[in-house]
């Protein structure tokens, strides 16, 4: 997968990929991430990529011309599955959409800053608007990093058996069951006996029951449309 990130502050995203699973995914070539700064496409001598809003109001808006030149440049070189704009007004991200994006070959992610980007870029170039939740960040960069992490870890080969995504929360419309590690007795609090039994069928059944219990208690909304788990 190739991801082109458009941002006036690329450092805010880059740091996210310097460790652990994301770094390994990049090093192994499962994904390439390229950063593009609209400032490099600004033609005035100050390289201005943002400007005041028409009609007044606090906050700057990313100007259309540098963004359009940048996007024209990218779109002329590759065929993209989606041009995504990170915004709290977009569709809220969930595991189903993340699964779908993990099958993409090329995507562009635009990060707004301050008040966002000129509406005409949204109308003319953006094919999908994504939010990571009902709250407002200072910019789209942390949202882009979160989106990329959720998508990249699902690319085949990125996770090994130990970190397999198949047992993640949400993968089966269920939250994950509790997990334990050594010691089996921590200050008198014991690990459930079944996990020490070596009986994989019993362990599987226990995990499913606990996942269901967890979901019913914390996120009953997940079970509403889920006939499989609604016994």
Q: What are the start-end ranges of the H helices in the chain?
A: 11-14, 20-27, 64-77, 95-101, 119-124, 141-152, 200-218
SS3 of 162-216: the string is: HHCHHHCCCCCCCCCCCCCCCCCEECCEECCHHHHCCCHHHHHHHHHHHHHHHHH
- In this structure, the strands spanning 185-186 and 189-190 are antiparallel
Assess 137 for contact with ligand ADE (CB under 6 A).
Answer: yes
Contact 57, 51 (CB under 8 A): no
Position among 103, 133, 183, 192 found at the interface with ligand ADE (CB under 6 A): 133
Assess 87 for contact with ligand ADE (CB under 6 A).
Answer: yes
Query: Nearest 10 degrees: CA dihedral of 130, 133, 134, 140?
Result: -60
Position among 43, 58, 136, 160 found at the interface with ligand ADE (CB under 6 A): 136
Minimum distance from residue 17 beta carbon to ligand ADE (Å): 18
Position among 131, 150, 152, 158 found at the interface with ligand ADE (CB under 6 A): 131
Smaller CB distance to ligand ADE: residue 12 or 86?
A: 86
Position among 66, 88, 98, 151 found at the interface with ligand ADE (CB under 6 A): 88
Tell whether the torsion through CA atoms of 61, 63, 64 and 69 is positive or negative.
negative
* Residue 62 to residue 48: CA distance in whole angstroms: 9
Assess 140 for contact with ligand ADE (CB under 6 A).
Answer: yes
187: left (phi over 0), alpha (psi -120 to 50) or beta: left
Position among 132, 150, 154, 174 found at the interface with ligand ADE (CB under 6 A): 132
Residues 176-215 that bind ligand ADE (CB under 6 A): none
Assess 7 for contact with ligand ADE (CB under 6 A).
Answer: no
Assess 59 for contact with ligand ADE (CB under 6 A).
Answer: no
Residue number, nearest CB to ligand ADE: 143
Smaller CB distance to ligand ADE: residue 143 or 152?
A: 143
Number of residues that bind ligand ADE (CB under 6 A): 11
Position among 8, 62, 126, 143 found at the interface with ligand ADE (CB under 6 A): 143
Residues 89-128 that bind ligand ADE (CB under 6 A): none
* Residue 23 to residue 39: CA distance in whole angstroms: 27
Minimum distance from residue 114 beta carbon to ligand ADE (Å): 10
Minimum distance from residue 183 beta carbon to ligand ADE (Å): 40
Contact 141, 9 (CB under 8 A): yes
- Which residues are near ligand ADE by CB under 6 A? 86-88, 131-133, 135-137, 140, 143
């Amino acid at each position: 997968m190739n991801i082109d990130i458009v941002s006036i502050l690329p450092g805010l995203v880059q740091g996210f990929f310097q460790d652990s699973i994301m770094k390994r995914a990049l090093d192994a070539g499962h994904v390439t991430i390229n950063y593009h700064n609209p400032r490099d496409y600004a033609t005035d001598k100050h390289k201005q990529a943002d400007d005041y809003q028409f009609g007044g109001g606090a906050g700057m808006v990313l100007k259309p011309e540098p963004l359009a030149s940048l996007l024209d440049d990218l779109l002329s070189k590759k065929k993209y599955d989606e041009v995504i704009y990170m915004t709290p007004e977009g569709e809220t991200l969930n595991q189903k959409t993340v699964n779908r994006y993990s099958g993409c070959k090329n995507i562009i992610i635009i990060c707004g800053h301050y008040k966002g980007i000129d509406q005409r870029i949204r109308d003319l170039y953006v094919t999908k608007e994504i939010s990571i939740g009902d709250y407002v960040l200072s910019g789209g960069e942390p949202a882009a990093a979160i989106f990329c992490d959720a998508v990249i870890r699902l690319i085949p080969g990125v996770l090994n058996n130990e970190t397999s995504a198949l047992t993640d929360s949400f993968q089966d419309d269920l939250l994950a069951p509790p997990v334990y590690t050594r010691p089996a007795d921590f200050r008198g609090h014991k690990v459930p006996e079944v996990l020490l039994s070596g009986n994989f069928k019993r362990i599987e059944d226990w995990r499913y029951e606990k996942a269901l219990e967890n979901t019913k208690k914390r996120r009953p909304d997940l079970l509403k449309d889920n006939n499989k788990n609604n016994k």
